[in-house]
Amino acid sequence: MLRPSRRTSAKSRSRPMNEPVIVDEQTFDKVVLQSEVPVLVDFWAAWCGPCRMVAPVLDQIAGEQEGKLVIAKLNVDENPNLAAKYRITSIPAMKVFKGGEEVHEIIGAMPKQAIENELSGII
């Protein structure tokens, strides 16, 4: 019996796609505020349906913007001090940091194109 070819495309053989970075109160300053490239921080929680809807979109953007943008995920239930510090009152909330400063905010789940439009001019 012949087996199907297990050939992989050049794209799948290349190095792994850039993925979002999990940050918390101990790593936030180093990963987000000291980054040399802009960082989009996704403030989310496991119980948040819209957060789960936007997660694969952010995964895709992370892969496409490798080297130009870092996607960081911060669980607000596990990091309430950072959620309070950055005035997170509803989720999903995404804040973009550049040069250690907050430069943009995106509230709510939205399609990939809308998020990319929000990021234009920043990355």
> Catalytic positions, please?
48, 51
Residues 14, 11: Cα–Cα separation, whole Å? 5
Query: What amino acid occupies position 117?
Result: N
CA 23 to mean position of chain CA atoms? 10
Given a contact cutoff of 8 angstroms between Cβ atoms, the answer to whether 37 and 103 are in contact is no
